[in-house]
Chains A and B, each alone.
Chain A
Amino acid sequence: MVELAPQYHTITAVVEDKPGVLARVASMLSRRGFNITNLSVGHSETPGLSRMTFVVEGDEWVVEQVTKQLYKLIDVVRVSDISDDSIVVREMALIKVKSTPEARPGIMQIVDIFRANIIDVATDALIIEVTGDEGKVDALIQLLKPFTIKETMRTGRVAMARGGTATGTKKASSDMTDHNAPDTEVVP
Chain B
Amino acid sequence: MQLTGAQIVCECLLREGVNVMFGLPGGAIMPFYQTLPEYPALKHILVRHEQNAGHAADGYARASGKVGVCVATSGPGATNLVTPLANAMMDSVPIIALTGQVPRAAIGRDAFQETDTTGITIPVTKHNYLAMHAADLPRIFKEAFHIARTGRPGPVLIDLPRDVLEETAEFDYPAEVRLRGYKPTPEGSGRMIKRAANLIDDSCRPIILAGHGVLISGASRELRELAEKAQIPVITTLLGISSFSSDHVLSMGMPGMHGQAHNNWAINKSDLIIGVGMRFDDRVTGKISTFAPGAKIIHIDIDPAEVGKNVRVTVPIVGDAQRVLRTLSKEVAATTRPDWLGEIDDLKARHPGMPTSDTSKILPQQVIRDLRSATMGEAIVVTGVGQHQMFAAQHYGFTEPNTWITSGGLGTMGFEVPAAMGAAVARPDMTVWSIAGDGGFQMTLSELATIVEQRLPVKFAILNNNSLGMVRQLQDLFYDGVRVATAYSGNPDFVKLAEAYGIWAIRVSDPALVRDSIDRANAVDGPTLIDFEIAPEENVYPHLPAGGTVSEMIEGPMESTGTIKKEAAAWLN
Interface residue ranges, A against B (CB under 8 Å):
15-16, 19-20, 23-24, 27-28, 31, 49, 61, 64-65, 68-69, 71-78, 176-180, 182-183, 186-187
- Cβ of B183 under 8 Å from chain A: yes
Whole-angstrom distance between the Cβ of A179 and the nearest chain B Cβ? 6
A74, B304: Cβ atoms closer than 8 Å? no
Contact across chains for B182 and A65 when beta carbons are under 8 A apart: no
Within 8 A of A (CB), among B82-127: 118-119, 122-123, 126-127
Question: A31-B123, A180-B185 in contact; A186/B180 too (CB < 8 A)?
Answer: yes
A20-B118, A178-B318, A182-B183 known; A27-B304 Cβ under 8 A:
no
In the bound complex, residues from chain A placing their C-beta under 8 Å from that of B303 are 72
In the complex, the answer to whether B182 meets A183 with C-beta atoms within 8 Å is: no
* Contacts A15-B181, A178-B317, A186-B180 known; 12 new A-B pairs at CB < 8 A: A28-B123, A31-B123, A65-B308, A68-B305, A68-B308, A72-B305, A74-B182, A176-B313, A177-B308, A179-B318, A182-B180, A182-B183
A21, closest chain B residue (CB): B181
Tell me if B175 counts as interface (CB < 8 A to partner A).
no
Q: How far is B189's CA from A68's CA once the two chains are assembled, in angstroms?
A: 17
A143 and B110 alpha carbons, distance in the complex (Å): 48
User: Residue on B with the closest CB to A70?
Assistant: B305
- At the interface, yes or no: B153 with Cβ under 8 Å from chain A? no
One of A49, A61, A69 near B305 (C-beta < 8 A): A69
Could you tell me if B305 and A65 are in contact, using CB atoms closer than 8 angstroms? yes
B307 at the interface (CB under 8 A from A): yes
Interface centre among B122, B127, B185, B313 (most CB of A within 10 A): B122
Which of A15, A49, A186 is the most central at the interface, judged by chain B CB atoms within 10 Å of its CB? A186
Q: Which B283-306 residues have C-beta < 8 A from chain A?
A: 303-305
Tell me, yes or no, whether B471 is within 8 Å of chain A by CB: no
For residue B192, CB closer than 8 A to chain A, the reply is: yes
Task: List B residues 514-573 near A (Cβ within 8 Å).
Answer: none
> B309 interface residue, CB < 8 Å from A?
yes
Q: A72-B303, A177-B316, A178-B316 are in contact. Are A23 and B181 (CB under 8 A)?
A: no
For residue A116, give the distance in angstroms from its CB to the closest CB of chain B.
38
Residue of B189, B303, B307 ringed by the most chain A CB atoms within 10 A: B307
> B181 touches which one: A16, A27, A179 (CB < 8 A)?
A16
Contact (Cβ within 8 A) B185 A75 = no
Task: Give 9 nearest A-B pairs by CB, closest first.
Answer: A68-B305, A180-B185, A77-B181, A180-B318, A74-B127, A178-B316, A77-B180, A182-B183, A27-B122
**What are 16 A-to-B residue pairs whose CB atoms are below 8 Å?**
A49-B180, A65-B305, A68-B304, A68-B307, A73-B181, A74-B126, A74-B147, A74-B181, A76-B181, A77-B180, A178-B304, A179-B318, A180-B319, A182-B183, A183-B183, A186-B180
In the assembled complex, B179 has its CB within 8 A of some CB on chain A: yes
* Complex partner residue of A180 from B122, B123, B181, B304, CB under 8 angstroms: B304
Give Cα A24–Cα B305 distance, bound, in whole angstroms.
16
Q: Within 8 Å CB of B316, what residues of A?
A: 176-178
